[in-house]
Structure 1
Amino acid sequence: MTSPNPCRLAFAVQLSLLLAVPAVAGAQESTEERTRTLDAVQVTGTRIKRAEIEGQVPVHTVTREDIDRSGLTSIGDVIQQLSGSGSALNTKFNSSGNFGFPPDGSGVGAGSAQVDLRHLGSKRVLVLVDGIRWVNEASASGVGASTDLNTIPLAIVERIEVLEDGASSLYGSDAIAGVVNIITRRDFDGGQVTLNYGEFGEGDGTVKGVDFAWGRTTERSNLFLGLSHVDQGVVYSRTREQSRFPTPGTGVAFGSSGTPTGRFIVTDPNTGATHDITPNTGDSDPTYDPTQTGCDRTDGFHCFTNADRFNFAEYNLLMTPSERTGVFGQFRFDISPGLQWYAKALYNRRESTNQAAPEPIFLGPEAGTGNPQADGIFISALNPYNPFGFDLDSSDNLILIGRRPVEGGARVFEQEVDTAYVSTGLEGSFDVRDTIWFWDVNAAYSKNKAEQTNYGSYNIRNIALGLGDPAACAAVAGCVPLNIFGGPGTITPEMLAWIQPVVHDESENELTLVSANLSGDLFRMPGEAGYVAFAAGYEYRKYEGWYQPDPLTVRGDYNGVPSLPTSGEYDVNEVFVEFNVPIFADSPLGKRLDLNLAGRYSDYSTFGGEFTPKYGLRWQVTDDFLMRATYAEGFRAPSIGELFGSDSRFDAQLRDPCSEPFLDPSLEPNCRTLGVPAGYAQPNPQISVTTGGNSELEPERARSFTTGFVWSPWFASGASWSERLDFEVTFYRHDIQGPIQALSAQAQLDLCVETLDPLYCDGIGRAATGGINAFNNRLTNLGSIKTDGWDVDLYWTLPAGDAGQFKLAWQNSFVTRYEAIGVAGQRQPREPGVEVEDSAIPEWTSTATLDWSREAWRASWAVRHISELTEDCGAAVAFPVCSDQARGLNTLDATTYHDVQLGYRFDWMRGLELTAGVNNVFDKDPPICLSCSLNGYDASTYDIPGGRFWYLRADLRF
């Protein structure tokens, strides 16, 4: 089988050595050739340096050409456009504020960009840089288990290799879903300056960037230096029609009950009447009249309705601003023809911002914040601003107060994330009889530290003092009585100074790594089959991480999402071995058959040892037809956050099955058993859920299987209509047992009401009013996750002619199954073709790219397709925006984006290339998502609404 075009099929099917070890070399090569071998960069998939086993597993490669054609400035954004990628965090997630803390203790990762393969989660993907593990992110709100790809400047990347196969036996525990190997630029002579500018058609979301690269290669040394700066501007939700309200097509019906005027649900102790009232707009001094028990009032109040809810969406961001600066260098020196020393270093800083609506102050038993100072508040009748004339006591007559102090401004979360990386090592070779063996030793240290400063939040302890007895307030320095009872403007600057702190959180992740590898040919098999190849190695890793929230948060005085410090460390010693056994060559059964065997033993300080094997077959049937199959077992050890993460909270949008008007009559007896009174209506869909790590977690176990073929038909090679045509088909299956995650909070609530089983209900508490005031949703080892599907790819290069040359690449992923089962057999809501919990698993995703080049001109047209999805309309079923109100389902129509680019290269210096492009040419809006928590669309699946983006790039080489 001849080597395909390196820009297409060669990288899509090629299999070679991982890590920073030498490329394939012939047994009889000269010392000069051996030196060049040591300089070569590898692709991903095996430890053995043998060209005969390439194509054994599916490896998709994103070349530098692909990166430039995308018009994107983030590695994460580039990878998330691959057809096999799943939902992952990116800068379109305005992820601070009410997102809170995920159960795995990783924090919200604000401003980061992650990668998900096969929809199995970013923490199950191993990210490497030049074959060496990259440090996990520190989100400033936890100890992350995923890699932030925004810590790696896109400008230093030569190519990105994505192994879409389980690979724990080769690379370690967190390679269950696959491996992303980022290869940096190295063989570079001269300099290069690249300028980028782009913005959305509405004039916002401006992206400006400048990259500088310089390198020098001599007979014995290689030096590369890179500097990159990217400034990504903001896009506000209020600037797009689709994202102007909490849920598109419903106005403020699903807005917050924490409003600028305030919502008050109280029971008058004198009359026994319960009121749900809010001050009239413009009335800053309402006076409660106990004789007015209806909604037609003249005392400055009126009954609260959905029309009074607060539109928090207009404060959100569609794209978060991010400024990233990185510097990278690497140097290689040939000590002798068979020995090379290298050193690498990187420093990267990211400054990013998230923004949420002004922070609401929820008080009373129905607040459900999990903070006893808020849920158990006491407001004195002596407070000079209390219009009710009686004490408001959470244990007696106060049900809920929701007041949003717009006077304090939006919540702003500013992140500063610093990443440092250094590595060094030796690579060499030696002769063993008539073969060459290769070895390398490597040491690396990397650290990711994040700091987050939060403006616009509140101190609940000071709020309680300001609402209490004025005499008690006067005894505390700085305390002033607080007015939350009037409209906007009634909270004075003096009051804000008392209740509004600046909150500062920090976290850090460190990785220390040492590895050694050996590879060579052991002996020749009988006949013409060739050599049995061998690789073995050792790796030591130490992980350290900590999270330190602001002292205010630790004391429990923070009005926002509470959390406690986290810290932990563990180390692992691993050994691996891999064999490639040629069965036959040039046989009547085919050109070649190879058996690949690999195994890794890992000894973790947290739980002990584990062995993971892998088996592979590669059958070269003819010169143009290759078949392959692999089976691998894997595991993923619990991360620091999953093991040691302390109590924290996230705020979920949940629908209480016991609430009117959604109560199923058949469930009414169960609701009464749970203490929910008749006629109960959930006042606030936002419910605080307590999470935390679990030191009793076991590792996840996984089994992965892939099979498929690569066909490059002879009749399409060198023909008048085709220079080359390649088909690649892969079937994959992943089965994870005991996956580490929490049961879906909505599923837990539904199962509690349906079954009354303590397994689900013990963590859910309700106030005397019936509302949920406690919700414990902890990490555990669930039952299983099973997924399978197909990748079908086509690559076609047409002959060059007078009209130029055309190349077509068409990549497709089909997900045929995804099942997540709880430990007690309960089915989780995620499945193919369904949108749930801000993420989707499309049944079909496709990317087709047509490239054209002619002399100095080049152009491309890319088409990205996402198949139709459905979702539960939830409470929006009463609105026409729910496309199937009878079944309570909404359809997210299939979406197709078109991207175009045109470039011209001038013969000036070593080349000046000017490029212009437009992504989402036809300004296609994403389908409306009713279940998504922010901005009315799924930010990990679709482009932003009103998302036509144009850009210019100038690239000068000298």
Structure 2
Amino acid sequence: MKSLRPRTLAKAIQLSLFLSLPAIAVAQDAPAPAPAPQKSATTLDAVTVTGSRIKQSNLVTSQPVFVLDRQKLELTGLQSVGDVLQELTSSGKALNSKFNSSGNFGYPPDGGGIGAGSAQVDLRNLGSQRVLVLVDGIRWVNESSASGVSGSADLNTIPLSIVDRIEVLEDGASAIYGSDAIAGVINIITRRKFDGAEVHAYFGKYNKGGDTTEASMTLGGSGERWSAVFGASYNEQKDISSGEWGQSAFPEPGAGLDAGSSGTPQGRFRFCDPGRPSGSVGSCADGSFYSVTLNDGTTTPVWDPTNPNGGTYHQFTGADRFNFAPFNLLLTPNKRKALFTSLSYDISDNTRLHVKALYNNRTSTNQAAPEPIFVGPDAGTGGLADTISVSALNPYNPFGIDLVAGSNFSFIGRRPLEVGPRVFTQDVDTWYFNAGLDGVFDFGDRSYNWDVNAVHSENKADQVFTNGYNVAKIQLALGDPAICALVPGCVPLDIFGGQARPMTQDQIDYIRTTQIDSSKQVLDLVQANITGDMFNIGDRTAGFAAGAEHRRYRGEFLPDPLRQSGESQDSFAAAVKAHYSVDELYAEVNLPFLDSLEVSAALRYSDYSTFGSKTTGKLGFRWQPIEDLVVRGTYSQGFRAPNLGELYGLTQFGATLTDPCGPTGAPVVDTTNGISPGLEQACVNAGVPNGFEQANTQIITFTGGNPDLQPEESDSYTFGAVYSPSWGADQSWSRKLDFEVSYYKHKIDGAIQAADIQSLLNKCYIEQGGTGPACAPFARNNTSNLFPPQNRLENLGSIKTDGVDLKGNWISPDWNWGHVSASVQSTWINEYKAVDADGNVATRAVGIEVSDSAIPEWQTNMQLGWGMGDFDVNWTVRYISSVKEDCTSATIAEVPGCLNPEQENTLGSTTYHDLQASWKHAFTVEGLDLTLGVNNIFGKEPPVCVTCSLNGYDAGTYDLPWAFWYVSANYRF
């Protein structure tokens, strides 16, 4: 089976990709390919490149594909597939190890969970759920991370050591690959042919820690009819505390503790006294509530009911809020262990058996400040905590009265630091098994390639949450001590003593509980493909590909019973156990016209068990008017089927909301800042008193899936040109010179999302007087604080974005003092606009920072390389243009940087510099390569983001503030 030999195929792939992808920076010396006209190029072996299943030998295909070969992967100095892809100029915000959330903020509305410890990829800022991840052209299982059923893949389940190259299709491709390929496709090609042994070791660290250790081993061999590759890898990354960086000293840098939490170590107490006469402070008769906190250093609380600032208490203000930031992590720790094997055996000259298997284990940890105890109606959990009352008989109750929920008591918030921080530990196993046949056959005078694959893949995760509370036990321990005494282990709970009188160990042990969440996703698929030539058009051949695929998705999310019952102080979540299946047929053709024009077309029919059928198409052209220039373009229809989490999930999300009726939003009476009298009247009609202050900035929102969701639909366009001038090839000053420009546009209709709850709340009061349709999710309790609103997923609106990719590549000849290379990749975004069904335009846009996410107008990467003999030095520059964020919230309006007429904070443009030096055959040892490098060599700090949560910067856009040094050794024998 000569045409299928792995060595021949690998050489053809390498040569074809080198010639056809001018945007790849070649930082080290490589053989000089001679420029060839089109007819000469067709003598190359045909290969499959991401974006088409037709084997082709064209130097440049009709769709833009960017390739990171193994040399480019090593040049980054990174040890995670996700980290590498997130540095692409076309990449948007996606989860990585700099995100530190595991449910302490609740769950996102898409039912996919937090994804703690995972690494994802976003293309074109359209979300990781709209990027299809393939491994060797076959779908990869989505992640679970023990917090939901996600529609995104975790790239930490794919060890970098097994990767031969990564192909990034910067175009929609639903007609080729099916659902999810709206923004693009990531195709990770694994090592298929390897002879000998290779050992790799790596160590790196930041100035403040975050040590990263990696070790891997690859073994391979081949014979006349077989080949095999085996790999094992270990990767460990340690954490960095938020306390190591001054910028993360406050929840919102520079905003002070006004932006902190109401859950303070000294406690916050909101209640009224039925015995106080009407008109006096703290009188229940006219709804006047105390809002007090304990003075620092108090060992025995003393309450003066005639004076809220008397005794050992004072009126609670923003200065009393708790700074939770130093307890968080800037970099979360994880360990990854993986085993991989790939085998092939030629059953006959025309048929080959292939088998591939992978096991990957990830353990990771997130940490948050000690969990606050929130009880009373203003706790706003929508669960049991909102109904808890405190008995006057509780021996620690200093107020001498029953605190009755919904009557004279609205809120107690106390954060017992003595319990210790919340710790969320994930343990994730990924299994992948692929077995199949591929081969060739002749029909008439033509040959055809075919393959059949059966795949079983599974991602299973457990999360252990320690230092959380059982709310039912808190309720019992705050109630009548006589009833508590009847329950084994119950002791009355002291949440009144502050730091000077911490809870006893018995009290902690009774209410503290360990919670265990688990989730699993399973993908089973069977597919068959065939590709070959159909007929000749002149002296050129029309090609085709066709195939069928059956997939079955299964997803489970089993939250801890306390989460399901609402008895966890952490977020509520409901269990999910569901499945669906899809059957698909596709066909693709490539038709050459004349000597310089090709037209391609594809059609895919998908039949889902959840919503029915869908057909998508794609058209493309490739025109080469002269030898040096290729003009190309595509039009693609796309769709994304709602995933299991979006269909069936039900969770809570701790949205940070600003109530328009309170001083943290817009003053009700003060009209000097543009506040309309209508807003004042709307708030008065809702029963909001003058001077109202919401109890907490985090207002819990119930959100989740909708079984009636329909698939998203999209239209995508690309148009561009690749110019490889002959005057820049094999010259005294240039061995190879290439330029590429590509315009892209995506428009998504029926985008699956929840309504912007802040926009709805503003619209309710500012535009609709508190009584319009936007007010449907909102209601208030007897203290005027909002009840948790409902906000389910819908096919809510449209998203559109467009921009231009620019790429260039130059390689010098070998001069006496070495060879030089230069390359650049740059993305300019013209527009990003999301509009819901009511015409409301989302605040997320180009040049704007919002919701911990930015869309910079420009992102540019540039690589410069020099090499001589066995030595190479490479310098990489990464540029991110400036963005702005809104400063109108009262908690940050006075922050330095916000004090301007526009009330905007500018996050200035940021440039990172990476430097790497490598030595081949080091110390004259054949096969030993050493590398020393530093990323962010000047320790550039990310710009201050005053609206970003946790660490005060956008972790999806910017690097950590310190230089990262690393050294690696690779020995092949």
C-alpha contact (below 8 Å) 1:4/1:10 kept by paired residues? no
1:937 to 916, 934, 953: 953
After superposition, the C-alpha distances for 1:714-739 in whole angstroms (9 at most, x for unaligned) are: 11111222111111100000010001
SS in 1 for 2:890: helix
Counterpart of 1:324? 336
Secondary structure in 2 matching 1:887: coil
Equivalent position amino acid for 2:563 in 1 = T
Which residue does 1:238 correspond to in 2?
A: 243
Query: 1:207 Cα shift?
Result: 0.2
- Residue 542 of structure 1 and its aligned partner are, at CA, apart by 0.2
Q: Distance in 2 between matches of 1:769 and 1:6?
A: 69
Residue 792 of structure 1: aligned partner: 806
Structure 2 counterparts to residues 850-869 of structure 1, below 5 A: 850-869=864-883
Aligned pairs (5 A) from 1:420-819: 420-488=431-499, 489-525=501-537, 527-528=538-539, 530-585=540-595, 592-645=596-649, 647-660=650-663, 662-663=666-667, 664-666=675-677, 667-756=679-768, 758-819=772-833
1:625 maps to amino acid: L
Question: What's the offset of the Cα at 1:750?
Answer: 1.6
> 1:513 is aligned with what amino acid?
L
Alignment of 1:295-374 (within 5 A): 295=309, 297=310, 299-371=311-383, 373-374=384-385
Equivalent of 1:200, from 202, 206, 211? 206
Q: How far off its partner does 1:886 sit?
A: 2.4
Q: Is the 8 A contact 1:876 1:882 kept in 2?
A: no
Return the TM-score normalized by structure 1. Answer: 0.94
Pick aligned residue for 2:927 from 885, 889, 911: 911
**1:363/1:374 contact within 8 Å kept:** yes
Cross-structure match for 2:406: 395
Q: How far 1:523 moved relative to its partner?
A: 1.0
Q: Which amino acid aligns with 1:568?
A: A
Q: Deviations over 1:837-856 (max 9, x none)?
A: 11111110000011221101
Once residues 252 and 793 of structure 2 are traced to their aligned partners in structure 1, the CA distance between those partners, rounded to angstroms, is: 30
Shift of 1:673: 2.6
**Hey, what does 1:47 align to over in structure 2?**
53
**How big is the shift at 1:13?**
7.3
Q: CA deviation at 1:668?
A: 1.2
Q: What does residue 111 of structure 1 align with?
A: 117
Please give the alpha-carbon distance, in whole angstroms, between the structure 2 residues aligned to 1:665 and 1:471. Answer: 54
1:106–1:139: 8 Å Cα contact kept in structure 2? no
SS in structure 2 opposite 1:594?
strand
- The code of the aligned residue for 1:894 comes to S
Query: In structure 1, the residue corresponding to 2:99 is in which secondary structure?
Result: coil
Q: What's the counterpart of residue 836 of structure 2?
A: 822
Looking at structure 1, the residues matched to 160 and 591 of structure 2 have their Cα atoms a distance apart, in angstroms, of 38
AA partner of residue 62 (structure 1) = L
Is 1:171 matched up with 2:177? yes
Letter in 2 for 1:688: I
How many angstroms does 1:217 deviate by? 2.0
Distance 1:882 1:359 in 2: 32
Deviation at 1:224, TM superposition (A): 0.4
Match of 1:887 among 898, 902, 907: 902
* 1:82 counterpart (84, 88, 103): 88
- Going from structure 1 to structure 2, the CA distance change for 1:535 and 1:455 (only over 3 Å counts) comes to same
Change (3 A) 1:265 1:665: farther
Q: Which moved more, 1:726-735 or 1:713-722?
A: 713-722
Q: Quick one: distance in 1 between partners of 2:567 and 2:19? A: 58
d(CA) in 2 for partners of 1:196, 1:692: 42
The Cα of 1:546 is off from its aligned counterpart by 0.5
Q: Deviations over 1:580-637 (max 9, x none)?
A: 111111xxxxxx1001010000000101111101000110111110000100111111
- Name the CA distance, whole Å, in 1 between partners of 2:332 and 2:714: 36
Q: For residues 916-939 of structure 1, what are the alpha-carbon distances to aligned partners after superposition, in whole Å with 9 as ceiling and x for unaligned? A: 101001110000001111200000
The 3-state SS of whatever aligns with 2:930 is strand
**How far 1:41 sits from its partner (Å)?**
7.1
Conservation of the 8 A alpha-carbon contact between 2:23 and 2:808: no
- Counterpart-to-counterpart distance in 1, 2:199 and 2:914: 25
User: How far apart in 2 are the matches of 1:563 and 1:230?
Assistant: 32
Matched, 1:378 2:382: no
1:426 alignment partner AA: L
Pick closer, same or farther for the CA change 1:680–1:8 going to 2, 3 Å. farther
Alignment of 1:121-140 (within 5 A): 121-140=127-146
Match of 2:217 among 212, 231, 235: 212
Asked if the contact 1:578/1:597 (under 8 Å) is kept, the reply is: yes
Deviations 1:317-358 (A, max 9, x none): 000000000110000111222211100000000000000000
Q: Residue type matched to 2:256 in 1?
A: G
User: SS state of the match for residue 765, structure 2?
Assistant: helix
CA contact (8 A) 1:257 1:683 kept: yes
Question: Which residue of structure 2 aligns with residue 30 of structure 1?
Answer: none
Aligned residues of 2:49 and 2:55 also touching (Cα < 8 A): no
SS class of match (2:258): coil
* Aligned residue in 2 for 1:95: 101
Mapping for residues 217-296 of structure 1, pairs under 5 Å: 217-271=222-276, 272=283, 274-293=289-308, 295=309
Superposed displacement of residue 366, structure 1: 1.8
Structure 2 vs 1, CA of residues 142 and 12 (structure 1 numbering), >3 Å: closer, same or farther? farther
How many residues of Structure 1 are paired with residues of Structure 2 in the alignment? 923
Of 861, 868, 877, the match for 1:847: 861
When residues 948 and 8 of structure 1 are mapped into structure 2, their CA distance, relative to the original with a 3 A threshold, is: farther
The amino acid that maps onto 1:439 is W
Gaps of 5+ in 2: 1-11, 25-41, 277-282, 668-674
Change in CA separation of 1:378 and 1:877 when aligned onto 2, cut-off 3 Å: closer
Q: Partner of 1:161 in structure 2?
A: 167
Contact 1:98 1:650 in 2 (8 A): no
Deviations for 1:207-251, whole angstroms, at most 9, x for unmatched residues?
011011111122221110111100001011010011121111123
- Partner SS state of residue 876, structure 2: strand
| Alpha-carbon distance between aligned partners in 2 of 1:941 and 1:743, rounded to the nearest angstrom | 24
Quote how far apart the aligned CAs of 1:291 are: 2.2
Decide whether the 8 Å contact of 1:8 with 1:795 is kept in 2: no
CA shift for structure 1 position 906: 2.2
Find 1:833's aligned residue among 834, 841, 847.
847
1:148 Cα deviation after fit: 0.3
What is the TM-score when the length of structure 2 is the normalising length? 0.93
Instruction: Give RMSD over aligned pairs.
Output: 2.0
CA distance, structure 2, for counterparts of residue 331 and residue 79 of structure 1: 28
The residue type paired with residue 936 of structure 1 is G
**In the TM superposition, what whole-angstrom CA distance separates every residue of 1:455-487 from its partner, at most 9, and x where no partner exists?**
011111110110011111112221110000011
SS at match of 1:135: coil
Q: Which whole-Å deviations, capped at 9, do the CAs of 1:819-840 have from their partners, x for residues lacking one? A: 1010111111111000011111
Residue 881 of structure 1 deviates from its aligned partner by 2.2
Measured in 1, the distance between the counterparts of 2:120 and 2:807 equals 24
Letter in 2 for 1:111: G
**Paired residues of 2:638 and 2:713 also in contact (CA < 8 A):** yes
Farther off after superposition, 731-740 or 550-559: 550-559
Per-residue deviation, 1:307 = 2.0
The equivalent of 2:7 in structure 1 is: none
Equivalent in the alignment of 2:670: none
Question: Aligned in 2, Cα 1:638/1:219: closer, same or farther, shift over 3 Å?
Answer: same
Q: Which stretch of the first structure deviates more once superposed, 166-175 or 362-371?
A: 362-371
